[in-house]
Amino acid sequence: MNFADGDTQKKRLIQYLCIIGLFAIFSTTIAKNPVLPLYAESLGAGSATIGLIAAVSPFAGILLSFPVGVLSDHLGRRRLLILAGAVFLIAPLLYLAAVDPLLLIPVRFFHGMATAILGPVTGAVIAERFGEHKGAMMGAYSSSTLIGRSAAPLIGGVVLSLFAAAPAGFAYYAVYLIAFIAGIPVFCLTLWYHDTGPAQPLSSVTLAAFRENLLIFLGNRGLRSASGAEMATYFCFGAFETFLPLYLLSTGISAWQTGIIFFVQVIVIAATKPFFGKRADQKDPVRQMLFGLFLTGCSLGAFILTGNFWFLLGISCIFGIGMSLSTVAANIYAANITEQNRLGASMGALSSLMDIGHSAGPLIAGVAVALAGYAAGFLLCFVLALAICGYIALGMRQ
């Protein structure tokens, strides 16, 4: 993280943001995976209720990310970051107060609010504070959140196993206590952040401001291209993480081999995002976004061509590279073409569309899988990726 001006304050800022991202995403992930379905079941929840509880958190991102981004443009990033930090700190304790599984629905939505706030606001902070280095810094931040997201299920599973013989409910309390402890540095570090300019009062935010920002976003072809690439990439990723384990099992790949395929892919994404972010700072992010999405779609379609473990591992790595290329470039491109006073709105809209794609992928691909098998589901993702690539390429020509 070398800056031309040797600005130690910027170095400290990205370090703090990465720590916030790591512990925040660790906290919300360990509260969900693998403990939440088990905890809900222990409270008497059925399959439908468990599914509803799990779906609420992404819905918070879809619903709130754009309004939160607009609010941060008017009220300042600091207020929203502190609010997110407070939610990350409080939410883990609310799970333990639930005496009925239905109470987990508002608790999970409340916890999802924190992620819906943190993502776009942090993206806007990096975009406005790091200038020509924003790609590398966005990549570093994204990698830190990925580390937290990957470590959480492992640690949560170990804790549940260690306390399996303990009195009823103790293992769940232990996991949510860890989630609470992880929220402490998040809240404390958000208090450290200060805005570069004066914040406006809440009365300055009107419905007209939300409508204006939405119309500007939708009317900008470049922003539509970036959001389309982001949505399509996460559509493919949602289908990938949901149906690839089942497909691999059907081809004779063992569970431990499947784990390796997913683990290596996570490592590839985490390792390459800062590099590809730096590249997007220096080169054309649109071409990188286009190539990354093309690579993502092609690699997902290629899974159906082989049942060999080593080939599948290689394809998974290519999928990770494509996802890394596309997502970091989409965010940088969106930041490059957005007015400084609308960065929060653009990052928020991008985050909402990402959540829509991530949620729609398993649902729509699942219908294709149910009707015509795994090949149809993966090919559907391939076709969608190619269609969005065509739209982006057409925009480049025009």
CA distances (Å), 275 to each of 152, 195, 288, in order?
A: 25, 28, 12
Tens digits of residue pLDDT in 72-88: 998 999 999 999 999 99
DSSP-based helix, strand, coil % in the chain, nearest 5: 85, 0, 15
Nearest to 355 by CA among 237, 179, 183, 222: 237
Model pTM score: 0.88
> Are the C-beta atoms of residues 124 and 352 closer than 8 Å to each other?
no
CA distances (Å), 10 to each of 13, 42, 80, in order?
A: 5, 47, 20
Q: How many residues does the chain have?
A: 398
Q: Tell me, what's the pLDDT at 173?
A: 93
Whether a cis peptide bond, with omega within 30° of 0, leads into 34 is yes
Max CA distance (Å), the chain: 66
Confidence of residue 398 (pLDDT cuts 50, 70, 90): low
When computed from its CA atoms, the radius of gyration of the chain, rounded to whole angstroms, is 21
Tens digits of residue pLDDT in 315-345: 999 999 999 999 999 999 999 988 888 899 9
User: What is the number of other CB atoms lying within 10 angstroms of the CB of residue 20?
Assistant: 27
Calculated CA dihedral for residues 300, 147, 142, 323, nearest 10 degrees: -10
Amino acid letter, residue 398: Q
Answer whether residue 4 shows pLDDT above 70: no
Q: Tell me, what's the pLDDT at 8?
A: 82
Tens digits of residue pLDDT in 113-142: 999 999 999 999 999 999 888 999 999 999
Selected residue with higher pLDDT from 19 and 11 = 19
Selected residue with higher pLDDT from 83 and 263 = 83
CA distances (Å), 165 to each of 78, 161, 171, 178, in order?
A: 44, 8, 9, 19
Selected residue with higher pLDDT from 172 and 395 = 172
Interatomic CA distance for residues 276 and 271, integer angstroms: 10
Q: Which residue has the tokens 């985490």?
A: 270
> Are the C-beta atoms of residues 186 and 82 closer than 8 Å to each other?
no
Tens digits of residue pLDDT in 179-237: 999 999 999 999 999 887 767 777 778 888 899 999 999 888 899 999 999 999 999 99
Q: What are phi and psi of 200, to 5 degrees?
A: -90, 160
Calculated CA dihedral for residues 225, 230, 235, 241, nearest 10 degrees: 160
Tens digits of residue pLDDT in 337-395: 888 888 999 999 999 999 999 888 888 888 888 898 889 999 999 999 999 999 988 87
Domains, in order of start, for the chain: 1-193+201-205 (1.20.1250.20), 216-398 (1.20.1250.20)
Q: Tell me, what's the pLDDT at 196?
A: 77
Interatomic CA distance for residues 320 and 299, integer angstroms: 9
Torsion sign across C-alpha atoms 40, 42, 45, 47: positive
Confidence of residue 3 (pLDDT cuts 50, 70, 90): very low
Angle between helix axes 309-336 and 221-250 (nearest 10 degrees) is 160
Q: What is the DSSP letter of 167?
A: S
Please compute the mean of the pLDDT values over residues 298-322 and round it to a whole number: 92
